[in-house]
Structures are given as structure tokens and as C-alpha cells.
């Protein structure tokens, strides 16, 4: 079907005329169900457990899980109750995926790059160094075929994925020496997980894996020379500004990390259509809420960091260009070995190119224009 200006306008006109009819139909359906014992809404109750990769009540990310549970509960009139467990409370954080697969829990929350060891393609739905930002990644997931591929990948694990938040562009990290060129990365022991860590390794650095709770003392005692974490809000809660000299931008390694909910597919498939829609609708709400909270809290935290005199630096263009080339090597090594990862990345990268081209004539000139002010 060809959509041109004429059919588009025609469609709009029909939409305008039929909207009140659709609304009346919707209202009358609700009315009938409210007053009839023979209504189609099942009163069956579901008691679910949500396992998460976040520490219990972790600001924004953990709070998003509770928000999801509350929304699903309220929208379903109490038919789905979800109890949220922080990482380690029911199962260890990085066992959340398997716990939901096995049915030990019905739903989980995490970031899909944690499961790269099980399926290399998974990480492309979370974050790719020098890849898409939050807005572009959401555009690919919802509007560019990304979700279909994500569902295809998780189907093999008996799971249903849903986008459930985003960190926005992260910061480049905290360093105790100036990083002016690639030479300064040589031998640098840095806490940086995932693909970013692999890129750092190619640049001669030494990525170190440390759990959240170990990073501060690791940096303070010189076990690591540098660390990345999230953005000004979470980073300043960790206290990195007190023990590191420089705060670098941008977070080239995580330009907008997507968070996810994953549901046990057997459980999901058994839900009546309205509850299925509620589980997806709540995820959509949390997806927006999470990114919005990140932006709001990071902007506030940056004011405080600046007031305290935090030395904010930018990586050089030349260095970032080199890291971008290393990133291409890292991704090729992954996609050469795994056909599904290749398929996902081809879709991701084709969309990224179009989105970048569009941003080049919209957001880039816009940001450049407000720099003048
Ligand atoms: Ca990070």
C-alpha cells in the first residue's frame, strides 16, 4: 500500500469522523462490563515475582521496577500483584534472566548486555559504543524493526522482552590523570564493562570488572586508575568526585543504555488480552519515566558538581575517532561468529545511519545554535 499525501489526508479525515464513534463503543463496552456478571474480564488473580539486576531500591533503576509493579497493579484493578526483589534478594543479580526462564520468577528487570554470554546479539538492544542515543534506540525498537528482532531472540529463551527505560548518554568516567591521547589509555586499569571494556583493551588499557559496591574503595586504593558508572546523579552519590581529579565526557561506550523487562513467555501467553496490554503499557510508561528522571536528576546533580569545582574535561576528537575504529573491530569479531548477532547488528547499523543523517540536519544544527546563546 502506498501512502502519499493524498491518502494520508484522506486517512486523517476518516479518523476525525470515526473518533467519536470509536469512543462511544469503548465507553459502552466498559459500562457493560462494569455492570454485568457475565462480563468478559476474568477475575483470575496473578501473584508474580520480579527479580532485578539492581540493588534493592536503587535510585531510578530500582524505583522503576516498583513503579512498574504499582502501575500494573493499579491498571489491572489488583488482578496482577508483583512483588519486586532487588538483586541478591531472591536470586543473585546476574541470575535474573535464568530465574525468569525457569519460571522461578515471572518477570525480570535488567539490561540486555548482561546476557551477551548467552546470546551475543542481546547486547545490541542495550548499548553499542558510538551507537544510537536513547531517542534513536527507542525509534529503532518501536519504529524500526528492533523490537521484532529482540522478541525473536528472547523467544528461544522462553522470554518476552520489553523496553523499560534508558540512562541517556552516560559520562566518560572519573580519572586521576589527564587523558589527552590514546597513549594515556595504555596500561590504564579502568572499571568499564561490556563492549566498552573490549574497546579499551584494544587501545592498550586494562578493563577491570568490579561490582558497584567495590568501585569506590578500588579507586581510592589504586586497585583501579579510573572508573565509569552512569551520569552526574548516580556518580556523585557514589562519591567519585571526592577521590578522582577529572570527570570526562562523553560516555562514548554507552551513548544511551536501554533497560528492559523480560517476562516468562508461558506466563505472558496465558494472560487475557487486556492484561497483556497492561504489562506492555506499564513498560512503555516506565521507559519514558526512567529516561526523564535520568535527565532531570543528572541536570540537577551537574549544578552541584560544578559548584564543588569538579574538573570536567572532554576527550579529544582524535582519540574518540580511534576508539570508534576499535569499536568497529570489536563488533566485527562478534558478528562474524554469530549469525543472529550479524542480523541484528545489520538492522541496528542501517537504522543508526539513517537516524544520524536525520540528526545531522536537525539536532546537530539545533545544539550548535544554542551554543551561541
Ligand atoms: Ca556505565
Which of 139, 181, 70 is closest to 348 using CA atoms? 139
CA of 353 to the centre of ligand 1 (A): 24
Residues 351, 132 contacting (CB under 8 angstroms): yes
CA of 222 to the centre of ligand 1 (A): 20
CA of 11 to the centre of ligand 1 (A): 44
Fold adopted by 173-253+311-370: D-Maltodextrin-Binding Protein; domain 2 (3.40.190)
CA of 275 to the centre of ligand 1 (A): 33
CA of 230 to the centre of ligand 1 (A): 5
C-alpha cell at position 371: 551554543
pTM, two decimal places: 0.89
Neighbours of 223 (CB within 10 A): 14
CA of 167 to the centre of ligand 1 (A): 9
What does the pLDDT profile of the chain (373 residues) look like in tens digits? 455 666 555 655 544 444 444 444 444 443 334 333 444 677 899 999 999 999 888 999 999 999 999 999 999 999 999 999 999 999 999 999 999 999 999 999 999 999 999 999 999 999 999 999 999 999 999 999 999 999 999 999 999 999 999 999 999 999 999 999 999 999 999 999 899 999 999 999 999 988 788 999 999 999 999 999 999 999 999 999 999 999 999 999 999 999 999 999 999 999 999 999 999 999 999 999 999 999 999 999 999 999 999 999 999 999 999 999 999 999 999 999 999 999 999 999 999 999 999 999 999 999 999 876 5
pLDDT at 22: 42
CA of 297 to the centre of ligand 1 (A): 16
pLDDT at 56: 83
pLDDT at 154: 98
CA of 170 to the centre of ligand 1 (A): 6
CA of 223 to the centre of ligand 1 (A): 19
pLDDT at 32: 36
pLDDT at 34: 38
CA of 228 to the centre of ligand 1 (A): 6
pLDDT at 48: 98
CA of 226 to the centre of ligand 1 (A): 12
pLDDT at 209: 84
Strands ordered across the beta sheet of 258-264? 80-85, 46-52, 107-110, 258-264, 159-166
Two domains, one topology: 5-34+42-166+256-295 and 173-253+311-370: yes
Segments making up each domain of the chain, as ranges: 5-34+42-166+256-295, 173-253+311-370
CA of 12 to the centre of ligand 1 (A): 43
CA of 103 to the centre of ligand 1 (A): 29
CA of 329 to the centre of ligand 1 (A): 21
Instruction: Spell out the alpha helix ranges (H) of 96-208.
Output: 96-102, 134-143, 146-155, 194-202
CA of 78 to the centre of ligand 1 (A): 36
pLDDT at 95: 96
Options 1.20.1560.10, 3.40.190.170, 1.10.10.60, 3.20.20.70; CATH of 5-34+42-166+256-295: 3.40.190.170
Amino acid at each position: 500500500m502506498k501512502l502519499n499525501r493524498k491518502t494520508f489526508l484522506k486517512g486523517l479525515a476518516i479518523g476525525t469522523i470515526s473518533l467519536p464513534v470509536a469512543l462511544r463503543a469503548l465507553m459502552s463496552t466498559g459500562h457493560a462490563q462494569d455492570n454485568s456478571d457475565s462480563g468478559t474480564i476474568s477475575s483470575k488473580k496473578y501473584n508474580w515475582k520480579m527479580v532485578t539486576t539492581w540493588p534493592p531500591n536503587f535510585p531510578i533503576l530500582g524505583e522503576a521496577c516498583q513503579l512498574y509493579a504499582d502501575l500494573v497493579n493499579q491498571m489491572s484493578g489488583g488482578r496482577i500483584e508483583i512483588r519486586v526483589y532487588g538483586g541478591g534478594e531472591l536470586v543473585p543479580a546476574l541470575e535474573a534472566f535464568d530465574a525468569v526462564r525457569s519460571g522461578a520468577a515471572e518477570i525480570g528487570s535488567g539490561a540486555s548486555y548482561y546476557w551477551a554470554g548467552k546470546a551475543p546479539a542481546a547486547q545490541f538492544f542495550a548499548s553499542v559504543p558510538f551507537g544510537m542515543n536513547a531517542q534513536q534506540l527507542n525509534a529503532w525498537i518501536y519504529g524500526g524493526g528492533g523490537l521484532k528482532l529482540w522478541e525473536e531472540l528472547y523467544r528461544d529463551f522462553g522470554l518476552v522482552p520489553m523496553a523499560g527505560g534508558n540512562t541517556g548518554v552516560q559520562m566518560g568516567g572519573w580519572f586521576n590523570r589527564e587523558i589527552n591521547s590514546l597513549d594515556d589509555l595504555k596500561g590504564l586499569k579502568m572499571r568499564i564493562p561490556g563492549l566498552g571494556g573490549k574497546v579499551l583493551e584494544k587501545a592498550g588499557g586494562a578493563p577491570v570488572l568490579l561490582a558497584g559496591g567495590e568501585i569506590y574503595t578500588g579507586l581510592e586504593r589504586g586497585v583501579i586508575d579510573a572508573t565509569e558508572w552512569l551520569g552526574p546523579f548516580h556518580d556523585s552519590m557514589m562519591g567519585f568526585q571526592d577521590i578522582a581529579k577529572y570527570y570526562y565526557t562523553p560516555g562514548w561506550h554507552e551513548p544511551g543504555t536501554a533497560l528492559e523487562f523480560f517476562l516468562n513467555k508461558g506466563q505472558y501467553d496465558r494472560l487475557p488480552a487486556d492484561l497483556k496490554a497492561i504489562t506492555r503499557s506499564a513498560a512503555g510508561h516506565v521507559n519514558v519515566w526512567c529516561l526523564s528522571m535520568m535527565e532531570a536528576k543528572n541536570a540537577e546533580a551537574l549544578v552541584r558538581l560544578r559548584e564543588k569545582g569538579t574538573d570536567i574535561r572532554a576527550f579529544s576528537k582524535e582519540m574518540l575517532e580511534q576508539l570508534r575504529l576499535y569499536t568497529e573491530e570489536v563488533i566485527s569479531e562478534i558478528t562474524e561468529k554469530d549469525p543472529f548477532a550479524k542480523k541484528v547488528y545489520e538492522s541496528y547499523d542501517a537504522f543508526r545511519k539513517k537516524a544520524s543523517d536525520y540528526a545531522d540536519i536537525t539536532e546537530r544544527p539545533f545544539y550548535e545554535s544554542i551554543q551561541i546563546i
